[in-house]
Amino acid sequence: MKVVFLLFDSLNRHALSCYGNKQHLTPNFDRLAERSVQFERHFVGSLPCMPARRDIQTGRLNFLHRGWGPLEPFDHSVADILRSAGVITHLITDHYHYFEDGGAGFHGRYSSWEFIRGQEKDKWQPQFLENEALYKNKYEKNQHDFSTDINSKLPYFINREYLEKNQQFPLAQCFDQGIDFLKKNGNKDQWLLHLELFDPHEPFFAPERFLKNYPEALSGKIFDWPSYGRTDISPSLLNKLRANYSALIDACDHYLGLFLDEMDQQNLWEDTWVILTTDHGLLLGEKEFLGKNRPPFYNEVAHIPLFIAPPNSFNCSPQKSKVLTQTIDIMPTILDIFKQNIPKQVTGYSLLPLMQKYSEKKSRYGCIFGQFGSAINFTDGRYSYFMYPLDPQVGDLYQYTLMPSHMRTFFEVADFKDAQIIKSLPFSQGFPVWRLPVNPDTKANMVKRYPLLDAKTVLFDLDEDPDQRKPLNDLDLEISIRKKIIRLMMENDAPEELFSLYGLELNKINVSST
């Protein structure tokens, strides 16, 4: 058996014509959709980037126990399970977060891997700031950030100069490497190709030939990287930002098409699965917000695309599926394809039975998703519910980890104040773990870095209000949903303190905060 797993970053569902976008055509995403089960109710699990990837690798939710961090020693990794079973697992990626402190442990689980350099803040080219005036003249003031801080945008400006000068675009290089893998190994068996693209994540840096249809992007100074938060930019800058994103979507579509051409040329559809999805979306002015992490997880962020194109030998015709799925289902689905046992710690479900029309298996009754320390969000496909802590500034919040790293740094000594060692968690396979209280005074924790906006517990009816503009006031429905959230939290081994933090009690529902 063979599997191609294509993972984009920040690929908005509503940007694709196969998901209903009539103004922006994406013919190659459509082309894959025509071969696929296109999932219409697919949602995120944990956010943002590396928490989502831990969900993908392990089939478990990250955000209830930990923020951004490495793969844990006790985690079941789909890449490692397959490699141990004799499947060749190859990772091609330009997603540089894998190679920072907070992304350790992921790429090493593969049989082999290829890393393409130069995206976003990848610490690639030496950061000598010799051309600050050039950068100030080239980029809009809104994204001027030339400090030497580890989180500054300076690496992007320097990397981009090098990439443009040498006509090396990471997106193109990744797909070139993927096509080369197919050319060399398409006729072999028992492999997983994980082809992962950082695009269309910000900065929205597309080769110039994809910008020709977007005059707003080409006029004036470059503005391709929004700050997360409220939309506090002019309409012209917002249009420029959206144009740059659209051009990058066109680039993603183009290179996907070249990859599909190679699939066609080798007739790999006979015995190869193709799975395509993303980690999350982002807001580009919708609901008057930009980005993710800080605003509520509206459907622009949480409702994401998923295509699974089975080989011709699998008893399944192309269709649009209404079953409710989420990110943690990817791992058990891939294991099921390779006929590997799914570890008992996995809380996701294989989607293979749901893809076959004769299956009587029912889909999940709901799913929870979110970001560590933010809302615990719920959807059943009909309703969406954002449930915030009773008081975000008060209450116990702990990280449970053996790998104490933030995104780009290790934990500080202050992070270990009042730390405890817990003998084991239900899913940690006997490993002890640190129980570390979140310290608001430490520099690198993302709870502090991304203060929440509009942190109000609200309920929406997606059928009647798909744009999520009109919160419902339905106490009985809210109580019913909160009971489902409790059940889902328990199924995912949520720490006891979270039930109190979010106003949930195991024996009764406290709705006074809502």
Amino acid identity for residue 489 in this structure: M
> Which strand (E) or helix (H) includes residue 245?
helix 235-266
- The predicted-structure confidence for 182-198, as pLDDT tens digits, reads as follows 999 999 999 999 999 99
CA distances from 86 to 73, 83, 190, 337, 414 (A): 21, 5, 8, 14, 44
> Which strand (E) or helix (H) includes residue 84?
helix 78-84
Res 256: pLDDT: 98
- Per the listing, tokens 């982002």 go with 282
User: Once rounded to an integer, what is the mean pLDDT over residues 379-404?
Assistant: 88
- Range 54-72 burial, b when 16+ CB lie within 10 A, else e: bbbbbbbbbbbbbbbbbbb
Amino acid identity for residue 26 in this structure: T
User: Once rounded to an integer, what is the mean pLDDT over residues 202-209?
Assistant: 95
Res 357: pLDDT: 64
Q: Distance (Å, rounded) from C-alpha 33 to C-alpha 139? A: 37
pTM of the model: 0.96
pLDDT band at 512 (very low <50, low <70, confident <90, very high): very low
| Spatial CB neighbours of 230, under 8 Å, sequence gap ≥ 6 | 288, 289, 290, 453
Q: Distance (Å, rounded) from C-alpha 254 to C-alpha 249? A: 9
Tell me which range, 401-415, 434-448, 494-508, is most confidently predicted by mean pLDDT.
401-415
- The predicted-structure confidence for 330-351, as pLDDT tens digits, reads as follows 999 999 999 999 999 999 999 9
Q: Distance (Å, rounded) from C-alpha 177 to C-alpha 179? A: 5
User: Once rounded to an integer, what is the mean pLDDT over residues 480-505?
Assistant: 94
Res 396: pLDDT: 84
Lowest mean pLDDT among 294-298, 352-356, 430-434: 352-356
SS3 per residue for 212-236: CCCHHHHCCCECCCCCCEECCCCHH
> Which strand (E) or helix (H) includes residue 163?
helix 154-166
- The predicted-structure confidence for 24-49, as pLDDT tens digits, reads as follows 999 999 999 999 999 999 999 999 99
Res 395: pLDDT: 63
Res 507: pLDDT: 54
What's the token pair of residue 141? 């003031």
pLDDT band at 511 (very low <50, low <70, confident <90, very high): very low
What's the token pair of residue 226? 């929004």
N residues, the chain: 514
Counting residues of the chain whose pLDDT is more than 70, the rounded percentage is: 96
Amino acid identity for residue 95 in this structure: H
User: Once rounded to an integer, what is the mean pLDDT over residues 360-365?
Assistant: 72
Map residue 34 onto helix, strand or coil. coil
Q: Are 14 and 302 in contact (CB under 8 A)?
A: no
Kindly report the number of other CB atoms within 10 A of residue 219's CB atom.
11
Kindly report the number of other CB atoms within 10 A of residue 505's CB atom.
11
pLDDT band at 431 (very low <50, low <70, confident <90, very high): very high
What's the token pair of residue 88? 């060749």
Angle between helices 235-266 and 170-185 (to 10 degrees): 10
Say which residue, 363 or 258, is predicted with more confidence: 258
pLDDT band at 505 (very low <50, low <70, confident <90, very high): confident
Q: Distance (Å, rounded) from C-alpha 268 to C-alpha 414? A: 53
- Per the listing, tokens 């110039």 go with 208
- The predicted-structure confidence for 217-273, as pLDDT tens digits, reads as follows 998 999 999 999 999 999 999 999 999 999 999 999 999 999 999 999 999 999 999
Q: Distance (Å, rounded) from C-alpha 201 to C-alpha 11? A: 7
Q: Distance (Å, rounded) from C-alpha 323 to C-alpha 39? A: 7
Q: Are 31 and 260 in contact (CB under 8 A)?
A: yes
Lowest mean pLDDT among 129-138, 397-406, 413-422: 129-138
Strand arrangement of the beta sheet that strand 229-230 belongs to: 229-230, 289-291, 283-284
Query: Is the pLDDT assigned to residue 514 strictly greater than 50?
Result: no
Q: Distance (Å, rounded) from C-alpha 478 to C-alpha 514? A: 9
- The predicted-structure confidence for 139-186, as pLDDT tens digits, reads as follows 999 999 999 889 999 999 999 999 999 889 999 999 999 999 999 999
- Per the listing, tokens 């082999």 go with 112
- The predicted-structure confidence for 316-328, as pLDDT tens digits, reads as follows 999 999 999 999 9
Nearest alpha carbon to residue 198 among 102, 115, 135:
115
Res 393: pLDDT: 56
- The predicted-structure confidence for 267-309, as pLDDT tens digits, reads as follows 999 999 999 999 999 999 999 999 999 999 999 999 999 999 9
Q: Phi then psi for 396, rounded to 5 degrees? A: -85, 125
- Per the listing, tokens 């011709």 go with 312
| Spatial CB neighbours of 491, under 8 Å, sequence gap ≥ 6 | 347
pLDDT band at 130 (very low <50, low <70, confident <90, very high): confident
Q: Are 320 and 36 in contact (CB under 8 A)?
A: no
Query: Which CATH number describes the domain made up of 2-119+169-355?
Result: 3.40.720.10
Q: Distance (Å, rounded) from C-alpha 431 to C-alpha 81? A: 19
- The predicted-structure confidence for 448-480, as pLDDT tens digits, reads as follows 778 899 999 999 999 999 999 999 999 999 999
DSSP result, 461-496: ETTT-TT--S----HHHHHHHHHHHHHHHHHTT--H
Task: Outline which parts of the chain fall under CATH 3.40.720.10.
Answer: 2-119+169-355
Cα-atom radius of gyration of the chain, to the nearest Å? 22
